[in-house]
A and B are shown apart, each in its own frame.
Chain A
């Protein structure tokens, strides 16, 4: 398996523009997580899905952020409109929940977002 695949790896956009980050989880995994990493705040959980259903989005910073998981193999994180303070590395991770326990969380390579 190729692991968790994120695209793009790098994104530079102007303030006010819409940004869409993409994630393909590991095949067979049924839980997907979006994290944001900054120097100041470290790794923060933004939202996660179990079986394609959003479970907890309390980490999403503002209404400008939204996430979808239309099927088991694809998720998007959208920021509209983007602001310079959204600049960070965004990670997607996936796990398999067996009904009693989770496997380890596998992370993608991340998308480095710069909003100018």
Chain B
């Protein structure tokens, strides 16, 4: 059972455009929703994260929009650049009383920003 569904699988956008990547989750107990960026040969690196008590978070050119009632969240990249070309993963996590739980990842979106 896939608890976090991500779309699209791949995306090509012209430089300066606004790629949008969408995720939907099933477990309403999730309380932390990060986006990770991964370059070839590297481990995933945290890009931006949001908690369900806010509907939007911006950090630089990256924005997360969060819709708790729809159980959906999305990543927007403003003024996209060729250097943003990477694989992007959404994820979700719940925090139990005893400690950290692992992240549940979406399948990833391979993003290409064309010059």
Contact = CB atoms under 8 A, between A and B. Distances in A.
A22 B102 CA distance: 19
Given A91-B43, A109-B43, A104 B49 contact: yes
B103 A50 contact: no
13 contacts: A31-B99, A42-B107, A43-B108, A55-B99, A56-B102, A91-B43, A91-B44, A97-B99, A102-B100, A105-B34, A105-B46, A107-B36, A110-B43
Given A102-B93, A109-B42, A45 B102 contact: yes
A75 interface: no
Contacts of A50: 98-100
Interface of A: 4, 30-31, 33, 35, 42-45, 48, 50-51, 55-56, 59, 91, 93, 95, 97, 100-102, 104-110
**Main SS of chain A's interface residues?**
strand
B106 A42 contact: yes
**Main SS of chain B's interface residues?**
loop
Name the interface size band of chain B: 20 to 34
Contact of A43 (B32, B44, B45, B49): B44
B43 A48 contact: no
Nearest to A33: B102
A56 B102 CA distance: 9
B45 A107 contact: yes
